[in-house]
Amino acid sequence: MRFDEWREEELIRQAIADEITAAEARLEGLEERVIRALASRELGCPVWKRWLRSILSPRTPALKLAYAFAVLVLFVGVGVLIGRFAFAPQPLPALAQEGTVFALAAPGAQKVELVGDFSAWKPIPLADPDGDGVWTLVLKLPPGRYEYAFLVDGRWLGQDPNADEYVRTMGDYTSVRYIGNGEGSSS
Amino acid sequence: MRKIFAVVVLVFAVAGYAQVQLMLPAVSPEDILQWLQQSTLPAAEKAVWLRILPKAFDDGLVDPKIAQVFFQRLVNTPPTFIGEITAIMQDLLAQGLSVTHLMNKVSQGIIMGRPWTVITNEIRLRASVLAATHANLSLYRPMAEAKASVRVKVGTFEFQARTPTWEDVEVEIAEAISDFIAGGGDINDWSGMETLIRTRLLQLRGRGLPSNLVDHVLQVLTPQLIGEIVSQAFQIERR
């Protein structure tokens, strides 16, 4: 090999080596980048189509224990919450709430209770939180006619000034309230 | 195996949810019967109630919630009183008549602290008027009217859903007549009784009693009909 030929080959090798060195940084991680790009999108297919295909494509049913347990806990949890809020005994409603108001002025009384056919004549306590002697209770009653009385320190008080009417039963008065919107006169 | 596990999980989840939803403070007829069985009610009366109550519950003639309080109070009363009240109720139930309101009336009398004889007399009066009212008004029962009582059973939970029926109208009329008499009204003042009945029925029209039933009974209600009821209730011979 002549000197000029050897020199030319050496220069070519050097040029290639320089080029490889320059491209090395760009080639690093190329394989991973390609795999990631392929996984994230299928070339030439719209997103909605790929989503639909994934929904409709037949699959082998598989149950993951962790997921099943999570669904169970969620189901029972929601059920307990609904049960607690919807069906647990509610505290006595405030006056502002919807219902029938039973009120009695009984200053000095230690205990005032309401008894009526709606509770099978079991006493329901009235409250006087501000101590002004006016005892109140709000009850939600379905439409109808109800007989009731107050027990003031255990003593029967059958004539409520707010009653719609009174009846005399077994030698004493009982108050009556009509609840709901009646249709009044007959057609 | 996985499929079985999935089904089990699903069943548990649904059952848990359903149980929570049905956690209502209700008394079942079975609870009352079981309580009666273990109660200190006199043996003869206990046997009567245990015999007649299951059908009465089925027919909607006794409300379990009212019955529970009634029996809890009755058990602490004298045996004579228990015997008389039981006999009155038994007679009404045998005629297919509701006794729920009378059980409630007994509870009322006890909480009022009335003497046993006063309570018994009042219950007897109301029972007689109810039986006579039913005997006279059943002739006018609307043809289309049907029992709207339905028993719903979900798992172990059972409840009764019902809409007011002709029997409820009869009870309201009987109670109005009884209130009139028990309140000191003249037993021969049939017009006064009729006025009271009309007033009450109109008050209840559409908010306790169906409008069509109220309208129907108001058309047939006359002082003469009330007279028939009262006469039959007190076995008065009419001229």
* B96-130 per-position pLDDT tens digit: 999 999 999 999 999 999 999 999 999 999 999 99
The fold for domain A92-179 equals Immunoglobulin-like (2.60.40)
Surface of B (26-85) touching A: CB under 8 A: 65-66, 68-70
**Cα–Cα distance measured from residue B175 to residue B197, given in angstroms and rounded to the nearest whole number:** 9
Asked whether the beta carbons of residue B65 and residue A120 sit closer than 8 angstroms, the reply is yes
Asked whether the beta carbons of residue A187 and residue B215 sit closer than 8 angstroms, the reply is yes
**Cα–Cα distance measured from residue B99 to residue B89, given in angstroms and rounded to the nearest whole number:** 6
pLDDT tens for residues A30-81? 777 767 776 665 556 677 777 777 767 766 666 677 777 887 788 777 766 6
Surface of B (169-188) touching A: CB under 8 A: 172, 179, 182-184
ipTM exceeding cut-off 0.90 for this assembly: no
* In chain A, domain spans: 3-85, 92-179
pLDDT tens for residues A76-85? 777 666 655 4
Best mutation target among A59, A113, A145 (most B Cβ atoms within 10 Å) is A145
**Cα–Cα distance measured from residue A160 to residue B223, given in angstroms and rounded to the nearest whole number:** 31
Candidates B122, B184, B207; nearest CB to A182 = B207
Q: Which residue has the tokens 């409250």?
A: A127
Q: Residue A140 above 50 pLDDT?
A: yes
What are residue B187's phi and psi, to 5 degrees? -65, -20
Where does the pLDDT of residue B9 fall: very low under 50, low under 70, confident under 90, or very high at 90 and above?
very low
Lowest mean pLDDT among A87-96, B13-22, B52-61, B218-227: B13-22
Candidates B9, B105, B111; nearest CB to A68 = B9
Give how far B210 is from chain A: nearest CA, Å.
10
Q: Given CB atoms, is B104 within the 8 Å cutoff of chain A?
A: yes
Candidates A65, A71, A186; nearest CB to B214 = A186
**Cα–Cα distance measured from residue B20 to residue B7, given in angstroms and rounded to the nearest whole number:** 20
Token representation of residue B234: 């007190």
What is the identity of the amino acid at A183? E
The pLDDT, as a whole number, for residue A184 is 66
